[in-house]
Each structure stands twice: as C-alpha cells, then as structure tokens.
Structure 1
Amino acid sequence: MNARLALSVLLPFLALALQWLLWPWIAPFVWFLFFPTVFFSARLGGLWGGLASTVLSAGMVWYFFIPPQLSWAVDNPANLYSVGLFVIMGYLFSDTQARLRRAQRNTETALAETRIANERITLLYQKTLELDELKSQFFANVSHELRTPLTLIMSPLARRLAATGLSPEQRREDEMMLRNAWLLYRHVSDLLDAAKLESGHMVVDYARVELTGLVRAMASQFDSLAREKNIAYRIDAPSPLAAEVDGEKLQRILLNLLSNAFKFTPEGGCIAVRLRAAASQAVIEVQDNGPGVPANLREAAFERFRQLEGGAQRRFGGTGLGLAIVKEFAELHGGSASVDEAAGGGALFVIRLPLHAPASAVIQDTASRLDPLIDHQVVNELRLPALNPVYPSATQPGANAALVLVVEDNADMNAFIADALSPHYRVACAFDGRQGLERALALQPDLILSDVMMPLLSGDQMVQALRRQPEMLDVPIVMLTAKADDDLRVRLLKEGVQDYLNKPFAVEELLARVGGLIGEYRRSKARLRESEERLRLFIEHAPAALAMFDCDMRYLAVSRRWMDDYFLGDRDIIGCSHYEIFPEITERWKAVHRRGMAGEVVRAEADCFERADGAVQWLRWEVRPWRTADGAVGGIVIFSKDITRYRQA
C-alpha cells in the first residue's frame, strides 16, 4: 500500500518532466497530461494518493505552465477558475476511485463468504443425503430384525388361541397380546415400506384385477364399524372394471384411506367410497364429513411422519406414514393422490390410477392379497371402548377397598391396568382426559392413574384442572408416559403429580407404587379425621363460649357453652351464616369481625350486647384469626363469656 501511495505521488513529477519536453508542441493546453495523471494516481493510491497528486499537479501547472511561466503571478483571472475546476475534478476522481475500491473489496469479501457458504451448504447437503440413507438403512434393518421376534410371538399365540381348554381370562389375555403384536407388525411394515420407497427399492407387482370387487371387498370390512358408530356408509362402484395394478398395494391404499375416514368422522356422520372410470384411469374417492384438512396443510398431509393432529392431545396414535404410503403407492403406479374439501364439509381423498400397466411390465394373472388379519386389526383399533367395562379377577375387592381411577385412551392398556389392579382395589375407567376429569370429580377416587398423551384433554392438562379443585388437592396421581423426557417428568412433579411410571412397566412395580401411595393417602386422611375429631371435641366441651367461622362468617364449629349462652338450644347451625342466626348484629360488630378477617386480634373486657328480644347481655370477648396451611386467613374464632350477672351484682 505504501509503494502504491508513493508511486501516485511520483506521477505528477513524471507528468511535469514529460509535458515540459513536449510543451512547444502542446502549448497552450496546460492540463494536457495532468488530468490523466490525477486519474491514475487515484487508481493507484486511492483517496489520499489522488488528493496528493491533485495538489501537486495544480501547483506545478500554476508555476510552470500558466502565463507568466515560472511565476506564481496570475495575469488572467480565468486561469484561477481552471485551477479550481481541476482541484474539484481531482477530488471527484479520488473520491470515486476510493468508493470503487471499497465496493470492490466488499464485493470480493461477499464473494469469498458466498463461496464458503456454498461449500458449507454443499457439505451439509451431502451430509443430509448420507443421514437420509443411514436413516433408511436403519429403518429397513430394524424392521427386518423386528419381524423375526414378532413372528415368534404371533405364531405361538395364534396356535394357542386355536386350541381348546383356555379359560375366558386366558383367552382374553392371549387375544389382547396377539392384537397388539399385529399392531406392532403393521407399524414395522409401514416403516419398512417407507425405507423401501425412499431408497427406490419398492417394486410394483402388476396383476389383472377386477377393481369393483376388490374395492367392495375392502370397503365391506368396515360395515360393522359403521353400524356401531351409526355412520351412513355408502359404497358406489360400477359394473366390473378391469385394471392392471398391484392388488396388495391398492388394498393398502384403501385400508389407509378408510381408516383415516373412520378415525375423524363423528358418530352419526357419513362416509362414501366411490369408484369410476375416467378415460384411461380408475378414480377412487373416499369422502367423509369430519373436520376435513385445512387448505394450507393439504400438501403436507401426504408427507412422511406428518400428523395433522399433533401434541399430547391427539386423538389417534400411529406413525404418520399412512397417507404418505397412499400417495407414494399411487405414484408408483403412475397415478396421483390428492385431498380437497368435500361438498358440505369434510375431506375428499381422490386416487387416480392408470388402468393399464406400462408396456414393459410383467403382469401376473392373480394378484397378491393383503393379510385379512390386518384388516380386522385396523377395524378393531377404531372401535369405541366401553365407558367402564367389567374386568373379572380371581379375587374381588371389598366395598371398603380403595377406588382407583384409570385414565388411558388405549383400550387394551386400560383393560390391562384395570385387570392388574382389580384383585386389590375397586377400579373405574376413563378413556380420555376430559372424561377422566369428570369421573374424578364425580367419584372422588383414592388414586388416579393416568396416561399423558390423550385426546380432548392431555394428562398434564387434566392434572392442572384437578389441582384447581379443593377436594382433589391431595388425591395422589401417578402418570404413565412412553416418553423418556426428563423435562416432562420434572414439570409433572411440579404440577402436583406424586409419581410416574415409564412404559413398559412391570405389574409388580405398578402395584407397589400404587399401594404405597394409597396407604400414605389413607393414613393422611385418617390423621386428618383424628385431628378434626379432637378439635371438634375440644371446641364442643370448651368451658367458654367458642365458635369458629370461615371467611363468609359461616359456622364451622361451635361449643355447647356457646349454644347455651346464646339460647340456640339444639339447632344445627354448622354451615349457617352468623348474621342470619343473629340478624340484630350491628355494623359495629361486623366491623370487629372484618378486623379479625384482616389478621388483627380484637378483644374487650366488658361489652354490652342487646338481643332482638330486648334482653341485654354483658360479654367479655376476643376475636382471633385462624390461618390455613399456606398462611392465609381462613376465618375467625370468637371466644366470649357472659358476665351479665357480675355487672348487675
């Protein structure tokens, strides 16, 4: 930089020497070589180099070339204007070059940063591709590894159920295990299919299929469910329609769409399945009058792992792959899948499939079929659980056994927990958070066992609502969670949950924790009852007139002496207002009560009180506040003694 600045200062001297030699030929153009000199000096030295060159050049021209030469005198004022104009132009040259240099530096910096950012983005993209590939391989490997133990669970269970001699309880347990094994198998199959689709290894096994029969057969699997939910269910398919498609994949498409429709259609709603031919395509429509899909989420609905109902309050479980598999299976056939708003509200899913396979495809005569047990499994998942089913057990608890409320939206898990508890406790069940809240307030259980993720009201929201009710403040609550989330556990404990269990859990651990909490709760209630009884006896038999009031001046406890001194006889005044019992109480006494409610101790050695019947009593009294466990004033206690006869003596 210093060399460039020195060269920019040297240029005026070189211009002076050259112009002096050429002066006889270029006179009278005094600025002939100095304008380019200043321009190049500014290019070399920037602002300061250009300004230095401008000043030197102006001085040299003035002295050596402006008449009279070799003198600082000026015989023509116009020459001064030319010097001034040159200086201004020199400054503008210098400033412009400085700005250009700064802009160039900024551009070079921005380009360098952009190159670095592009390199990072490229690396991140490559890393993302690698991670996607690893994820797909992981899902595929895990899915394959899970299928073997699942087969070894499901096959013996199916063989066991086919045999005779099982008791009803054993059969019910085996059916529950097999049902959930099939559910796990279906989720594993979805993950494996997603991995195959992502890696491009999913193939289409084309076969000649009669679409009308296939659609009707698949749709009929949901007939009984439609009747149970009082849903108007219509299947509209034309006369036989032949197509070349992958039969099993088409069944999966229909199964996922119908399952989705029955999940979100309310009782008394309507669902329609329609099949029609349009040009060289088969068009399958599944329509419902449920909540529908918002317009801004209709594309996202088909994304993998996307669940439109998220969070702890989602009503239905699953992997979030159902609609993604529908779309990708349709696209594998060269078709499409879309969702729109149905006429009258709800969702309208439309599947378009070519009627003919590609020319190069191998076409089988018989299509592969989806395992019918999967159909039954899907339908059973959608059935509504009973509000409070009866769970048989070898030993029935007595009428005085503790009552446990189980709040769990999964019907099998709800039944399993209730079955484990029923030999030891009375059990009531609820299947969502809102129902759990209502049943807890109605039944006043000794313990609540609740899941976290539930529809309508999540488990943590239910706990918050329960803890706002005074009668539910001390009821122990145990939360069941499938999430290994330390923050969630800490938050639940802060919100008043006594304990939590991670799924899966051992029945012995469940019984131990429930038993410990119920035992402590009942001991606490017994100690409280004993304390209340001692307080009642103390107040009732106190030698002085004594009464305990809440903040609204309703009687909480009263001594026998109080009843006698105030001529109340055997009236039951607990819960009654003091001001209704004694309407003659003046504003002065009410002010004393308010002072007590404010936390003040008020007393008098002798005070006159005129009763409604005209009788006069002299009282020695004291008003004291009593406080709740959190230190707040809960009401007042009034001690009084009738000293009328001493005053009249």
Structure 2
Amino acid sequence: MQLINPNGNDHPPGPSENSVTATGADEPAGRKGRRNLNRWLLAGLLPLAALALQWLLWERLQPYVWLFFYPAVFLSSWVGGRVAGLLATAFSAVVVWYLFIPPRYSFSLVHPSTIIALLIFAGMGVLFSLFHERLRRAGRQTRLALAEAILGREHLEHLMEERTRELVSLVDELRRKEADLRRSQELAKIGSWTYQADGRLEWSDELYRIYGLARGKFTPDVPSFLEIIHPDDRAHMQHWVKACLGGENPGELEFRIVRPDGSVRFISGHGALSRDSEGRVTGMSGTGQDITERKIAESAHRESEELLKLFIEYAPVPLAMFDREMRYLYASRRWRSDFGLGDRSLVKVSHYAIFPEIPQHWRELHRRGLAGEILREEAEEFRRADGTVQWLRWELRPWYDAGGKVGGIVIFSEDISNRKCAEDALQKLNEELELRVAQRTETLDVILSEREAQNAELQRAYHELEAETARRIRMVEELRQKEQLLIHQSRLAAMGEMLGYIAHQWRQPLNVLGLHLQVLGLSYQHGTFSRELLEESVGKAMGIIRHLSRTIDDFRDFLILNKEKTLFQVDEVIVKTVGLIEEHLKKAGVRIEVACTNPPEVNGFPNEYSHVILNLLTNAKDAFLERQTEHPVIRVHSGSEQGKTVVTIADNAGGIPEEIIDKIFDAYFTTKGLGKGSGVGLFMSKMIIEKNMGGSLTVRNVNGGAEFRIEI
C-alpha cells in the first residue's frame, strides 16, 4: 500500500532511501519466470502422478484411497508454494471423491467417516500450504533489519570520513538484506512501498507484480493508484487516505484491486508513519500482500462448514457433533425430535447440562472417544430425568482437526424403544403361543378328523363349481351363437329388403328393354327395319343392362362384411345407400332430402355403416305407411361437431311414444305387426355403431317426428 506525504514536509530524501532503491539488480526476469514455471509444472505433475499410481494400483490398495495423495499435496506445497498446495489439495480431494470413494463416479457421501476423512485431507492440505507463513515472519524480521540499517545510514552521514570502512560493510550488508527482502516478498507475495515528504512514491518489484503492472510503463501516484482500486472499495480507500493525511496511524486495510487484464485480487495493506525527532510526519511506508488465495480458502472453508452443518442438520438419523468439552457444534433435526429438545439453540451448550441424567459409564465412554476410540452398542437402556426409559442404539466416533488431533466426537443415537417394545411383545406372544400349542395338542386328532371332513366337503364343492362353470361356459357360447344368429337374421332381413328394392328397380328397366325388342320385331315385320334403328335400339338396351349390372354390384357390396376398419367418406356412403332405396321411397310417396356438408373421414366399416342408414330409412318408410302420414318427408343431414362426424335422419311420422322410446334398441323389441318386424334391426344398428365403431346411436322426438343421431 502507498500514500502521499501526510503533512507536506519538504525534507529531501536521505541517502538511506537512495541506497535502498539502488540495491543490486535481482536475477534476470526470464530466468526467474522459467524457474517459477518449472516449479509450477512440477507441482502440478505431482497430484497427476499420484492419480496415475492410485489408478494403476487401486485393486491392491483398496481401501487406502489417500495413500499417494498425502505426499503429493505435501510435495506440491513445498515445490510450488501455498497456491500450488491448495490447488493440489482441491484437485486431489475432488478426484478421490469422484473416482475412489464409494459410490464411485459420483459426488455422493454415504458414511460420516468418509466426510471426516475428506475434511482431514483438506485440512492437512491447507496446513501444508500455510507452512509458507513462516517465510512471512522472516520477511518481517528482514524489514526490521532494513529499518535498523536505514537509521544506521542516517547516522553514518555524520561519520562518513571516520567510519568509511564500516559504512562500506554496512552498505554491502544492506544490499544482501535487500536481495533477501525481494526473495522473501516473492515467496510471501508481499510488496513494499514508501512515500516521501517531497511527494515521491516508490514501489517494490513485487508490488508491481501483485498489481499486474510493469515498472516504467506505470508511474505510481495517488490518483493513478486509486484508479486500480475496485469501485466498491474506492470510497473506503479514499477515507483511509484522508485519515492518514490528518496524522492518524494508517494501520491495516483489506481492499480489492482490478488488474489491467480485468482480474480482481484481494490485497492486505499495512502502513506506518515516519516522524522526525520533533514528532513531525516525514513520510510513510508499508506493505501490500496478495491474499486472494487466502480469501478463496477462507470462503471454501466457510462453505465446507456450512455444508457440514446442513448435512448433519438434515441427516435422516439422530446425529450430533461435539467439541472436546462435549459442547454441541451441530445436531440433526431427528436428534432434537427423538430427545424432545425442540427448536432451542444447542451451539456451545454442554451435553451434560442438557442431559444431567447421563450415567457415569457413558461419560467414561465419551472420554474414551475423545481419546480416539470408536465405540458402539446395539441396544442400551437410558433412563431420563422424568422417569421415562428409552432404548438406544448408538455409535461414537472421534473427529480430527487440521492438526490431526481429536477435535471432538460425533454421536449417532437412534431411539429403538418401539422396536424393543415390539420385540418384548413378540417374545410374550411366542410364550403364549407355545402354551396354547401345548394345550391344543391333546385335541389334534379331533381337529384333523374335522379337517378331513372339511376337505371332503371342499372336494364336493369343487366338483359342483366345476359343473357350474361348465354350465356357464355353455351359456356364454349359446349367447354368442344367439348373437351371431341375430346378426344373421339382421343380414337376412336386410337382404330381403334389398331384394324388394332391386326387384322394383329392375321392373321398369326390363319393361323398357322389352319395348325395344318389340320395336325391332315390329319394324322387321313392316319393313322399316334398318341398321340405324338396330344400333340405336342396341345402344339403349346396353345402357339399361349396365344400369342393372351396377344395381347388382351395389347389392353385392352391401352384403360383403368388412373384416378390417378403413377410412371412408360418410357422404359417399349416404348417397350410395339412398340410391338403393330412393326409387322404392318414391313409389311409396316418400320424399327424401339429403344435405351433406363434407364431414371428415371416419375410420370404421363402411358396409355396416350403410346397413345402419338403410335400416333407419326403411323404419321411417314403414312408419309412414303404418300411420298414413300426409306429405311424408325424410331429412338426412351430415356434418361435424367438435371433431366428430354427425349424421341425423329425421322424419315427420309423429315420433316414438315416450313410454317405449327407451326400449326400441332392445333385442326382439318391435312395434310392427306380427310377421312385419323381427325386432333386431335397431339392436344390431346400435351394436355396429357403438361396439364395432366406437360411436353412439341415439334417438329423440323433434318437430312431429323422430330423429336418429349417429356420432363417430
């Protein structure tokens, strides 16, 4: 850290300052850089070598997961310094955790001992790395020696002529100490600065390196120094500078800087005022140390403590961690619940103050655990102060601090009172059962004879059940056959209707065909027969024959049962079906209106669907004839609603009586006279739509007639 002159005195710098800054040149920067690079490479290769050896020899080394990593971390810290040691520690901990600690290839920690071992390793790595703090103390001693040398040089100015030889010797010694100071600063990452009364501010080479600046390219002064301070710390630094200008002792200050490459470093600064014999401030000097790694380590340590706290607090078992005085450090929620401790704070509270009823032999076990023993008990009685008794299954293990010493113990204590009571109750039940078995042994023969009679009865019941099952299977088969018969009857009825329609459709074309043949005969008799008349008559006759052939094809297609579902257009099926019956309806005086709005395709059985429409149209025609309806009309409409294809067939035949409207889809139910209806048409239509095609067929009375609605 560096500052301006606190009181503005203009005393010129003495020879001591000049001699300090004019010490012999350090070793070349290139050589030093290569040496540091080699040390870092060696420090980085050590944990990698440990990983390779551990991987190759793992089958022989199990379960000693840390065997090679302890010496690797120690040597990395020794070769590369504190940062290299901490990085090697972190790398080794992560690698061992992921590759060798069960369950392998994950960051899960199952056993508390694994956590403790991991923490011990991390603590030892930090301990090895902090060994370089001794070099920091050596730096302090060097600075004290430098201050003594500066005072001696000021005194030597008055004795220059008398003590030239001593001055030369002291100057040489000072140069050696300055070289040692530079080396110490490099090792400890501590740079020094001085501020003279004339406004001159000087930095050591290490301070330039810490700030990421190059000597000669950056001139240190207060404004430029404040520019590299982190914006969040700049106001605090300005306040510190102002206080020093007021004559206050600078003391210590931690702040952040922003290097030219954008990286942020944490700096610990120390400063001291220099005063003359009259107490006036003549300058200031101090140091700046890069403590970024220490801050990172402190943050990691805090995170580790927080993780340990969370792990214990939310552990699904009763778990508590104590220090050497048996004071609580952490306790799980299950521990609080099992022992009725509520939500009060337990940190730093003595375990014996909370449970004064703990017996003396348990306290002795705690002392043995603090001595390093691992103890456990599967079931032990604990009498509470309120007179209640708890049965506990417990385990006690020591935990170790960074120095390898026992820092306290971890206790797992599970309340097994319910299990113990259950075991006692089971023991009592076993005794009662043995007594009952002994009592019932005498009546065993009677029971066996009763069981034989029961077995005989069960055999008879089994045979009866077999007979009943066979009878029911036959009934099911008969029902299936009846259903097939219904389908066959429905098909025969439809065939009968179709034959009537075909006979009607063929009668007129056959009459026309006969007339054409008669015309040919008469024209031959009267001598008017000609080739043109023959060709005209043959053409008309062939047209009539093709019409009759299409009628036969339509009839054949209608009677073919579809075996697999196919996509079909509802409009096409409606038009085709209406075409089969349209002439018959006209003969009966029935007008049919068809309105199709191009609904979406349906996945189903088109011939069965046509059968349903034909059945509904035939029923409407029969209702007109039965009731002698004036101006009979059948309206067929197709469309889509909410993604479904909807077809409605409505008539004006007066509707269906309300007392039978719910029965018209029942098998063998008919309102027609004897011999005019089988009662299976609507039943089979509903089965085709709902069972075979997954749709619905419903009916309602609207506008003086019935409306059948098909939805698929």
Q: TM-score range with shorter-chain normalisation? A: under 0.3
When the two structures are superposed, what TM-score results if normalisation uses the length of structure 2? 0.26
When the two structures are superposed, what TM-score results if normalisation uses the length of structure 1? 0.28
| Larger of the two Rg values belongs to structure | 2
Higher RCO, 1 vs 2 (CA within 8 Å, ≥6 residues apart): 2
